[in-house]
């Protein structure tokens, strides 16, 4: 949770690099939704897991497992999108993601 909060704080304080290479509005929307889901799930998955494990909250375990699975697929979508941006659309998105700032 601390790392998730720290990552969100970094995003808010440092901002995000300008989007380059994404020309189509549908791709921009997909990128924004992907990031939103990832950030939501990096909080929901551990919180629901803790609620299920420590507090035995009914349904929290199911939320945890489903959230974990959705997070896995959304991260794979994110990776695929970065690779398409880099190799197909020839943008610098992958270099921006991997650069130490």
With respect to residue 18, please indicate whether it lies within any of the assigned structural domains.
no
- Between 4-13, 48-57, 66-75, 84-93, the lowest mean confidence (pLDDT) is in 84-93
What single string gives the DSSP state of each residue in 51-93?
HHHHH--TTHHHHHHHHHHHHHHHHHHHHHHHHHHHHTS--SH
Q: Give the pLDDT confidence score for residue 82 in this predicted structure.
A: 87
With respect to residue 13, please indicate whether it lies within any of the assigned structural domains.
no
> What is the overall mean pLDDT for the chain?
89
With respect to residue 17, please indicate whether it lies within any of the assigned structural domains.
no
Q: What is the pLDDT of residues 2-50, one digit of tens each?
A: 999 998 899 899 887 776 656 788 888 998 999 999 999 999 999 999 9
Distance between CA 56 and CA 85 in Å, rounded? 43
With respect to residue 86, please indicate whether it lies within any of the assigned structural domains.
yes
With respect to residue 38, please indicate whether it lies within any of the assigned structural domains.
yes
Number of domains in the chain: 1
Q: Give the pLDDT confidence score for residue 100 in this predicted structure.
A: 60
Domain extent at residue 37: 2-8+25-98
């Amino acid at each position: 949770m601390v790392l998730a909060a720290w990552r969100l704080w970094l995003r808010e304080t440092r901002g995000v690099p300008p989007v380059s290479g994404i020309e189509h509005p549908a791709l921009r929307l997909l990128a924004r939704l992907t990031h939103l889901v990832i950030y939501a799930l990096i909080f929901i998955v551990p919180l629901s897991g803790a609620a299920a494990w420590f507090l035995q909250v009914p349904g929290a375990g199911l939320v945890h497992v489903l959230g974990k699975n959705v997070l896995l697929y959304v991260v794979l979508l994110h990776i695929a999108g970065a690779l398409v941006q880099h190799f197909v659309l020839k943008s610098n998105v992958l270099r921006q993601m991997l650069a130490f700032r």
